[in-house]
């Protein structure tokens, strides 16, 4: 089911003339200068793209509005980027990715046979694999040397959602105003939008977001 | 050297900063320029001492280097790897550490409450943790001074701890802050709006008004929010202190008498080349915060101090504390747009003190927080295990969420510690720090109570559903202050018991942490230590010889 368009008029990028130079450069670079894959091999790329499509599905967006995620993870890995800490039961992030992508296939094989790969499963079966990883008991030898729950939260979900919600198209989807310097905000009461911010359509009819169905 | 750097929208520090040669023996070499080091540098320079600050990170030019963007601000944090373990391994990086002039005050929310008088006597009052070797009254004038100098906005009468008022009027709260206020009012819980937050409600010197941008945690481009980058460092430079950036300290060497002779460090030059140097100094003050300060001392080994400098007690690195920082959020029918206005704008300390009706001692504060989209997505994904379309849909409610942070007191425990990793080295070849953190029974019960209370407040404000996720904030305790050389690393003046001309003056000296964000307390301690140094240094107090450390180890 496609995602309901809560902010049909949103276009944060149209406000870029109001942003300071440094911020504009960072955000536009993110939109226009997507890196090319250098770290993962073609097989790993395909698995990573399949994973990203499950964690942050984008079938509700036209292709030209989809947010690239895999290439940014590749770039992080290639540059051995660190967030400032590493759990003592985890390898470095760039290695955790290699292991995790392999683990997705190992779990897929354990569940669906030797010839299965995560990327070739149908979506329901892919979710079955992810559910086992998320809850911490997936079959597969990789997951005996790397805790699956930790990988799921701190490597897969944090990085994938972090890249998604860093993008102006995602801001449009949730009605976030984006960069706000030097203009700032004036409408502080009653959750009101600024004149230049998107209006929400039918805010009550679509409170799909109960976390506990 | 020529310094040309924006520290606020229209304030450029453009000056010839005094520069010393490493071979010059300066009065004080300070490591770090955050809440402790920044204030010390300013005070000591004003008192006429020669001061060099070694700062591991760069100057963050507010116009050129800071961005109004959640994902684009990674350079503000300490990103060199730290290994984290224990039953509740702590997250570092963006969560609680800064790198660059101003330290983590660059990206703190700016909540600046004082500790309560009871915080200084937790052992006497509750039979747990430790007493401080100083009292609230000893620190009170320095709290007041820091509230004027940061400065801090808040109510004219703040009702908790020892009641006091703030020098600047309350800062306007956004809609998310109003929800905390509404919920507390509806439950009959005392609550204050508009502070205490280190954002003056009005122009302050060369610092303009807050523009209500809501990006406090990503560095203040405006210069309205206080950080030592904008509050104390410019004055330190003006009074002759040198801030030597991109200079990573790795060892404090000692002479035959066991006295510190300076600081060895690695400086990254403009062309990317690295150069080792040793800044000579009559006294050394370590202000690198609760991971880097013990790391530096533990890495400064000698025959005289084989387990690390100033570590005769064996307590360097011990008693690591984080503050409990669970985030509670509610969904409201009406829009909130919590990204507007500073995240720090309303709080209650009604549950701060020990209450015999509780199944735990000490307490917690409730404060506004305002997660930006990425932080919010992480909270939602972590709590419900959501991903895929379910997560996208929840995030479409982003503008309908209001969040509260529970800031709870975790008790010091010797089993929580920072040590040097036995094999791993960082980019400079320095052993990587390992941090070990467990929660214990009192901590868990207190956090549970805080989360329940936070949810009750949001429900009373009209939330249709509430959620919570555990988080931790702030790091203190790893070079604790105490009464004797056996029970602590430093005395009440932040001087190490073992080395007369070596001080530690940052969050790591706190014996307990209360439920108050630590920046103001760290700065107040630094100002008090500076006054002591002004009185004592000319009398030769720092020139006595070291205590013999060999044979004094606890184990």
Q: Do A188 and B172 touch (CB under 8 A)?
A: yes
Longest dimension (CA), chain B: 70
Distance CA B369, CA B152 (A): 18
- By C-alpha distance, which of A82, A84, A91 is closest to A147? A91
Q: Do A185 and B97 touch (CB under 8 A)?
A: no
Q: Do A23 and B72 touch (CB under 8 A)?
A: yes
ipTM of the complex: 0.96
Q: pLDDT per residue over B70-101, tens digit each?
A: 999 999 999 999 999 999 999 999 888 999 99
Phi-psi domain of B405 (left: phi exceeds 0; alpha: psi -120 through 50; beta: other): beta
Helix (H) or strand (E) run with residue B446 in it: helix B441-460
Q: Rounded to a whole number, what is the distance in Å from the CA of B252 to chain A's nearest CA?
A: 24
Helix axes B388-395, B373-384, angle to 10 degrees: 130
Q: Do B213 and A180 touch (CB under 8 A)?
A: yes
Distance CA B137, CA B372 (A): 39
Helix (H) or strand (E) run with residue B521 in it: helix B519-536
Q: pLDDT per residue over A67-99, tens digit each?
A: 999 999 999 999 999 999 999 999 999 999 999
Distance CA A10, CA B301 (A): 59
- By C-alpha distance, which of A186, A183, A193 is closest to B222? A183
Does B378 reach chain A within 8 Å, measured CB to CB?
yes
Q: Rounded to a whole number, what is the distance in Å from the CA of A21 to chain B's nearest CA?
A: 8
Distance CA B225, CA B105 (A): 9
pLDDT over 60 (residue A112):
yes
Q: What is this structure's pTM? A: 0.96
Residues 6+ apart with CB under 8 A from B286: B31, B32, B252, B293, B296, B297, B479, B502, B503, B504, B505, B506
> For the domain B2-543, what is the CATH code?
3.50.50.60
The pLDDT of residue B554: 42
Q: What does DSSP assign to residue B518?
A: S
Distance CA B27, CA A38 (A): 51
- By C-alpha distance, which of B418, B417, B420, B409 is closest to B472? B409
The pLDDT of residue A212: 41
Q: Do B211 and A54 touch (CB under 8 A)?
A: no
- By C-alpha distance, which of B537, B473, B481, B486 is closest to B504? B481
Using CA atoms of B212, B218, B219, B221 in order, give the dihedral in degrees to the nearest 10: -50
Average pLDDT per block of 10 residues along chain B, 555 residues long = 95 97 98 98 98 98 97 94 97 92 97 98 98 98 98 97 96 94 98 95 94 95 97 98 98 96 97 96 98 98 96 98 98 97 96 98 97 98 95 97 98 98 96 98 98 98 97 96 98 98 98 98 98 93 72 43
* Interface mutation target, options A56, A187, A191, A212, chain B, most CBs of B under 10 Å: A191
Distance CA A155, CA B327 (A): 21
pLDDT over 70 (residue A209):
no
Average pLDDT of chain A to the nearest whole number: 93
Place of tokens 């007690």: B313
The pLDDT of residue B95: 84
Does B214 reach chain A within 8 Å, measured CB to CB?
yes
Domain ranges of chain A: 12-174
Residues 302-341 of B with CB under 8 A from A: 331, 333-337, 339-341
Q: Do B339 and A163 touch (CB under 8 A)?
A: no
CB B437 within 8 A of CB B411: no
Distance CA B76, CA B20 (A): 27
Q: Do A203 and B384 touch (CB under 8 A)?
A: no
Place of tokens 């939330």: B463
Q: Do A84 and B85 touch (CB under 8 A)?
A: no
Residue of B66, B97, B396 lying closest to A174 (CB–CB): B396
pLDDT class of A1 with cuts at 50, 70, 90 = low
Distance CA B462, CA B186 (A): 10
Q: Rounded to a whole number, what is the distance in Å from the CA of A7 to chain B's nearest CA?
A: 9
pLDDT class of A208 with cuts at 50, 70, 90 = very low
The pLDDT of residue B94: 87
CB B525 within 8 A of CB B120: no
Q: Do B384 and A212 touch (CB under 8 A)?
A: yes
User: How many Cβ pairs closer than 8 A exist between chain A and B?
Assistant: 228
Does B400 reach chain A within 8 Å, measured CB to CB?
yes
Strands, DSSP E only, in B393-513? 401-408, 417-425, 431-436, 465-469, 472-476, 502-504
């Amino acid at each position: 089911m496609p995602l309901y368009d809560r902010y049909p008029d949103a276009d944060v990028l149209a406000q870029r003339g109001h942003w300071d130079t440094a911020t504009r450069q960072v955000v536009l670079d993110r939109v226009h200068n997507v890196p090319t894959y250098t770290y993962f091999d073609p097989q790993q790329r395909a698995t990573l793209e399949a994973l990203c499509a499950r964690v942050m599905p984008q079938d509700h967006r036209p292709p030209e509005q989809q947010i690239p995620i895999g290439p940014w993870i590749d770039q992080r890995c290639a540059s051995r980027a660190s967030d400032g800490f590493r759990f003592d039961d985890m390898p470095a992030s760039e290695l955790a990715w290699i292991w995790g992508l392999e683990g997705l296939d190992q779990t897929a094989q354990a569940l669906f046979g030797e010839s299965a790969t995560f990327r070739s499963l149908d979506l329901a079966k892919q979710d079955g694999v992810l559910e086992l990883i998320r809850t911490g008991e997936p079959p597969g030898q990789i997951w005996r040397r790397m805790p699956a729950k930790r990988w799921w939260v701190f490597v897969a979900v944090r990085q994938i959602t972090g890249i998604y919600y860093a993008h102006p198209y995602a801001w449009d989807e949730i009605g976030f105003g984006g960069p706000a310097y030097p203009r700032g905000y004036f409408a502080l009461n009653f959750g009101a939008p600024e004149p230049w911010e998107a209006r929400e359509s039918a805010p009550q009819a679509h409170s799909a977001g109960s976390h506990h169905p | 050297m020529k310094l040309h750097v924006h520290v606020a929208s229209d304030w450029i520090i453009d000056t010839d900063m005094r520069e010393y040669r490493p071979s010059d023996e300066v009065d004080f070499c300070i490591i770090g320029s955050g809440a402790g080091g920044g204030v010390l540098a300013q005070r000591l320079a004003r008192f006429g001492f020669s001061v060099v600050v070694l700062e591991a990170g760069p100057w963050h030019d507010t116009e050129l280097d800071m961005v109004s963007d959640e994902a684009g601000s990674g350079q503000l944090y300490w990103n060199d790897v730290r290994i984290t373990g224990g039953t509740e391994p702590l997250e570092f990086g963006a969560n609680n550490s800064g790198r660059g002039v101003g330290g983590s005050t660059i990206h703190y929310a700016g909540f600046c409450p004082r500790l309560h008088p009871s915080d200084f006597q937790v052992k006497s009052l509750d039979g747990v943790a430790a007493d401080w070797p100083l009292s609230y009254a000893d620190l009170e004038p320095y709290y007041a001074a820091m509230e004027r100098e940061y400065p801090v906005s808040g109510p004219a009468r703040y009702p908790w701890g020892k009641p006091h008022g703030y020098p600047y009027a309350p800062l306007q709260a956004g809609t998310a802050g109003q929800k905390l206020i509404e919920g507390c009012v509806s439950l009959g819980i005392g609550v204050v709006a508009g502070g205490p937050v280190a954002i003056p409600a009005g122009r302050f010197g060369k610092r303009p008004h807050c523009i209500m941008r809501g990006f406090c945690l990503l560095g203040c481009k405006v210069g309205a929010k206080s950080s030592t980058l904008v509050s104390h460092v410019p004055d330190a430079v003006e009074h002759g202190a040198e801030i030597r950036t991109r200079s990573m300290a790795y060892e404090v060497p000692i002479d035959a008498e066991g006295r510190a002779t300076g600081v060895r460090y690695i400086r990254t030059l403009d062309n990317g080349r690295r150069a080792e140097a040793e800044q000579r100094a009559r006294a050394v003050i370590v202000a690198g915060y609760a991971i880097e300060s013990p790391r530096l001392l533990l890495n400064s080994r000698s025959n005289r101090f084989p387990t690390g400098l100033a570590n005769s007690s064996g307590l360097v690195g011990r008693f690591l504390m984080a503050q409990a920082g669970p985030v509670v959020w509610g969904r409201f029918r009406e829009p909130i747009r919590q990204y507007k206005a500073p995240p720090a704008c309303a709080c209650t300390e009604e549950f701060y003190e020990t209450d015999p009706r509780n199944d735990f001692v000490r307490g917690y504060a409730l404060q506004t927080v305002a997660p930006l989209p990425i932080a919010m997505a992480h909270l939602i994904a972590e709590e419900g295990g959501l991903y895929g379309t379910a997560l996208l849909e929840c995030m479409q409610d982003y503008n309908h969420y209001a969040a509260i942070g529970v800031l709870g007191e975790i008790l010091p425990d010797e089993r929580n510690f920072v040590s040097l990793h036995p094999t791993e080295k960082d980019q400079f070849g320095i052993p990587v720090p390992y941090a070990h953190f467990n929660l214990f029974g009192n901590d868990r019960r207190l956090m549970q109570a805080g989360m329940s209370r936070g949810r009750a407040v949001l429900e009373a404000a009209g939330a249709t559903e509430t959620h919570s996720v555990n988080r931790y904030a702030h790091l203190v305790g790893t070079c604790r202050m105490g009464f004797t050389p056996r029970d602590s690393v430093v005395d009440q003046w932040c001087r190490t018991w073992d080395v007369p001309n070596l001080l530690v003056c940052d969050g790591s000296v706190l014996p307990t942490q209360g439920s108050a964000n630590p920046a103001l307390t760290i700065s107040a301690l630094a100002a008090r230590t500076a006054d002591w140094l002004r009185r004592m240094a000319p009398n030769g107090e720092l020139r006595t010889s070291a205590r013999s450390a060999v044979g004094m180890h606890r184990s």
